[in-house]
Structure 1
């Protein structure tokens, strides 16, 4: 198959909704050939109508990721941008969350991104160019009640990104972290359902119900930014000559990260408890 080697190619995971969908559309509008990856291809029919190439991929299935990358290379001949966006929030008290769920949270949010990066890097190194964008969260810099496993994955992806940035620089590859704040998407509703499922009737019920209510509120327009903001930021980062290493964008991201850096631990704890409505005793 002949390849259009002048057109840059992007792979975006979690593209069926929210940040992934918005990012895929923004990159396509910027002139990229975009492959939108998700488990449910049927949810991306509207993206296909916009010129995006849907691809079935499960970031917890190694064969699925290998097949997806091979398909893109066979069709397009290159991968210039990888956006590791697939992820979800598993909330609940540490004591309540089953270890299988904790491991799955890491499989989706960390190991899937790391493995897909492994698969894409040889092709980027061969061209001595590329951009890897990891969608972490302001949750990779702060902590909130009942979010231990989710925050652990985002802290981990931040660390992986920093180490990877050092490793791949000699090959002309950039690693960029996007740290969204509150974004209008399915994420907060799913996280609210998770915490209700495990901690709404346990010893942590007062905290669980408060956190679930706070997350549900975050899923509304009142306390969130549109996912298109992240799509624009990703596009800005991958098209910049010298991109920043981090972009904190979206509702609350910059002020929350700033406060975490300047407040003592217990003062920040008290602030977050008040913000989420969690009782202190």
Structure 2
């Protein structure tokens, strides 16, 4: 397949060990040309000499960085067929005491970061009357659990944004897909633990510190779905001619879907027992 006949896929948050990195490899395995982006090129060094990848530094919290990465990509490759908004950060802690600056950073990355990319790429896709926008949400939106409210709220907003975009962009031939991962093996637990260590000492919640700390690594048990398995299934769905609006896979995805339909009193009882609150 000629280089210029391949689908061009731009993915945010492709640092090694994460979901984005696995998605990049899975798209490349399907003969796509992958624009792999991250805040540091060094974090994607294993892609460096592979012609399947075009590497770009990209900080989704910066409008200037987004514009530069997209203009460079379009200048080099001529088009973007698929945008995957994967970049995200965790924020663990009780909402009543988490610094607002940490919550703002979470939304700036998880929600506004995705919207920056979307607003930058939509005019290009609309001009071609084709394209796909893939937003990586979270299964925790179905049943929000204690100690990660800021993260879940940012992903819930992303889910709502995705539903709206699906309708608004349809007239322009652009598909919008909500990918909802369950517990997937990645480096997000380490990142969450690192950010939690920078939190202030809790005043009201000192006695819950152990439970809150455990929340940082909740998705990283031995039974978590391997990143490669998640990536392969996701890519197969995204590349369909008529992709579904919603796709959820990974450990606990079915359980959380069931939780969503439970009466709130029952759900609260289960979560209080599970998270010691």
What is the TM-score of this pair, normalised by structure 1? Answer: 0.92
Matched, 1:264 2:230: no
- C-alpha distance in structure 1 between counterparts of 2:263 and 2:180, whole Å: 22
Contact residue 7 and residue 81 of structure 2 kept, 8 A = yes
- C-alpha distance in structure 2 between counterparts of 1:204 and 1:92, whole Å: 9
Identify if the C-alpha distance between structure 1 residues 194 and 145 changes in structure 2 by more than 3 Å, giving closer, same or farther.
farther
- C-alpha distance in structure 1 between counterparts of 2:196 and 2:75, whole Å: 42
| Alpha-carbon offset, residue 4 of structure 1 | 5.0
The answer to which of 137-146 and 266-275 deviates more is 266-275
Contact residue 4 and residue 76 of structure 1 kept, 8 A = no
| Alpha-carbon offset, residue 127 of structure 1 | 1.0
Instruction: Specify the SS of the correspondent of 1:174.
Output: strand
Structure-to-structure mapping, 1:176-215, within 5 angstroms: 176-195=177-196, 197-198=198-199, 201-215=202-216
The answer to which of 179-188 and 198-207 deviates more is 198-207
- C-alpha distance in structure 2 between counterparts of 1:20 and 1:179, whole Å: 14
Instruction: Specify the SS of the correspondent of 1:49.
Output: coil
| Alpha-carbon offset, residue 256 of structure 1 | 1.0
Matched, 1:170 2:171: yes
- C-alpha distance in structure 2 between counterparts of 1:233 and 1:67, whole Å: 31
| Alpha-carbon offset, residue 238 of structure 1 | 2.2
The unaligned stretches of length 5 or more in structure 2 are: none
Identify if the C-alpha distance between structure 1 residues 184 and 9 changes in structure 2 by more than 3 Å, giving closer, same or farther.
same
- C-alpha distance in structure 2 between counterparts of 1:80 and 1:43, whole Å: 24
- C-alpha distance in structure 2 between counterparts of 1:206 and 1:189, whole Å: 23
- C-alpha distance in structure 1 between counterparts of 2:6 and 2:191, whole Å: 36
Contact residue 183 and residue 224 of structure 2 kept, 8 A = yes
Q: CA RMSD in A?
A: 1.8
Identify if the C-alpha distance between structure 1 residues 199 and 258 changes in structure 2 by more than 3 Å, giving closer, same or farther.
farther
The unaligned stretches of length 5 or more in structure 1 are: none
Contact residue 143 and residue 259 of structure 2 kept, 8 A = no
| Alpha-carbon offset, residue 16 of structure 1 | 1.1
- C-alpha distance in structure 2 between counterparts of 1:250 and 1:42, whole Å: 29
The superposition leaves residues 197-250 of structure 1 with CA deviations (integer Å, 9 ceiling, x where unpaired) of 437643212333213224335324x24111113311331122112111111111
- C-alpha distance in structure 2 between counterparts of 1:254 and 1:49, whole Å: 39
Matching residue of 2:28: 28
Matching residue of 1:54: 55
| Alpha-carbon offset, residue 270 of structure 1 | 1.9
- C-alpha distance in structure 1 between counterparts of 2:209 and 2:150, whole Å: 15
Matching residue of 1:65: 66
| Alpha-carbon offset, residue 273 of structure 1 | 2.7
Q: How many residues align?
A: 274
Structure-to-structure mapping, 1:106-185, within 5 angstroms: 106-185=107-186
The superposition leaves residues 135-157 of structure 1 with CA deviations (integer Å, 9 ceiling, x where unpaired) of 00102222011211111101000
Matched, 1:225 2:225: yes
